[in-house]
Chain A
Amino acid sequence: MTVPESAHLDYVTDRELVDRVLAGDAAAERALYDAHVDRVYRLAYRMAGSVDMAQDITQETFIRAFQQLPRFRGEAALSTWLHAIAVSVALNGLRKVRRFEQREAPLDEALPVGVARREAEPDLKARLWRAIDALPTGYRAVFLMHDVEGYTHEEIGTALGIQSGTSKAQLSRARQKLRTALAPFMGEWTA
């Protein structure tokens, strides 16, 4: 079994790892990348929905992170700091490209809650995904980070530059919008 070069760095703290990177330790650089790239890539892909864009976002995140590493003060976890960079890069990239996967039909957002009308739409997932696509950018980011990727509200707050209470409020609004969009399927939910 091949032991990765960075194995000896598995148990160092964030601060120690950053100090080693700043001192020019190549193995520490790779260790930092290995420790965080999966979660950064997952977040990038969730937000972008495209392999090329997700790789772009991830690469740009780490390039910026290495450039800005002297500014890392350790007040937040290194992962949180990295994810803040990733979200900033992702939002900026999405603004420029504005790519959403084309869904089959436009979403009708005017559906009133509680109406017992059933639609003959076989693909509930597709409807949910269109509804997620249609969320305002910030709500979508909070929803994906919390409900899909498992970030805490504190981590989301740091990444988006908001208080954790605001993150909770935005998540609640995002869920409400999704419930509204899926109202015709309420019968299935409670079955």
Chain B
Amino acid sequence: MTHEPDHLDERLRVLARGYNAPPPTPREAMWARIEAERRRQRDAPLPVTRPRHRRRWPRPLLAVAATLIVGVGLGRLSARLDRGAATAPRAVADATTDGRAYQVAAVQHLGQAEVMLTTFRAEARSGEVAPEVGPWARDLLTSTRLLLDSPAASDPRLGPLLERLELVLAQIVQLPSRRDSTELQLIDDALEQGDVLTQLRTVVPMEPARQISGD
């Protein structure tokens, strides 16, 4: 008997077009709400980065952001970012001006993400991912989104990497408690193909005693 995968796939596609078939786009209603929300953002007395009800940042997360910004090693990391530029590390006061502080915080955050993703990948390949990985990824996802709203996202190296990281972390966070090996493989594929870990290691400076397990 001849197996005809293309024939099957085409017929599947024809039927699948009825799946969640979209109704006409309610353009005007949605545009009105988008405009209203953007007006509200502009008129809001405090900066609002995520205006939707799902996007409120509770105070503990704002504290996380503050911690990131004024974290230890600010001056040393700032100097590493200035490779090729003049010599002495900037003073902490200089380092806290606008983009620089956020860049430093972003690099620290990416270092934490690298540790988490390396751990996740090793465990995913062994077929058993620890339950604490989910909350870990969720915290990192929250911080990633904070940084995406900050000047760090404008950095040509950091911005795209933060965006890729957001997508990967969102997938990890979505894993059900019953970890399907297929889904773990999917995320591992995404890490592999998107080269996320390699990019993270390029951006994050190596500390002297730090060991990073190879892939």
Where the two chains meet, the residues of A that have a C-beta atom closer than 8 Å to any C-beta of B are 30, 33-34, 37-38, 41-42, 45-49, 51, 54-55, 58-60, 62-63, 66-68, 70-71, 73, 84, 88, 91-96, 101, 124-125, 128-129, 132, 136-139, 143-144, 147-148, 160-163, 165-166, 169-170, 173, 175, 178-179, 182, 189-190
Contact = CB atoms under 8 A, between A and B. Distances in A.
B27 interface: yes
Nearest to A33: B31
B51 A63 contact: yes
Contacts of B7: 189-190
Contact of A41 (B25, B54, B148, B193): B25
B207 to A, nearest CB: 27
Given A55-B26, A169-B189, A132 B194 contact: no
B174 A91 contact: yes
Contact of A125 (B5, B15, B192): B15
- Describe A's contact surface by its main secondary structure: helix
A104 B195 CA distance: 42
Nearest to B9: A175
B202 interface: no
A182 B49 contact: no
A26 B156 CA distance: 28
Main secondary structure of the interface of B (DSSP, over half): helix
Contacts, number: 144
Interface string B12-54: 1101111110110111011101100110000000000101101
A139 B12 contact: no
B139 interface: no
B72 to A, nearest CB: 29
Interface string B160-179: 00011011101101100000
Interface string B176-201: 00001011001101101110100000
Given A67-B49, A125-B15, A165 B193 contact: yes
Given A66-B38, A173-B182, A163 B194 contact: yes
A182 B15 CA distance: 12
A96 B166 CA distance: 16
Given A37-B30, A49-B20, A160-B167, A166 B189 contact: yes
B11 interface: yes
Interface string B95-114: 00000000000000000000
A41 B20 CA distance: 12
A95 B13 CA distance: 26
A61 B171 CA distance: 18
B93 interface: no
B19 A136 contact: no
A38 B82 CA distance: 45
Contacts of A88: 166-167, 170
Contact of A148 (B16, B52, B171): B16
Contact of B13 (A47, A94, A147, A163): A147
A93 to B, nearest CB: 8
Contact of A138 (B52, B186, B192, B193): B186
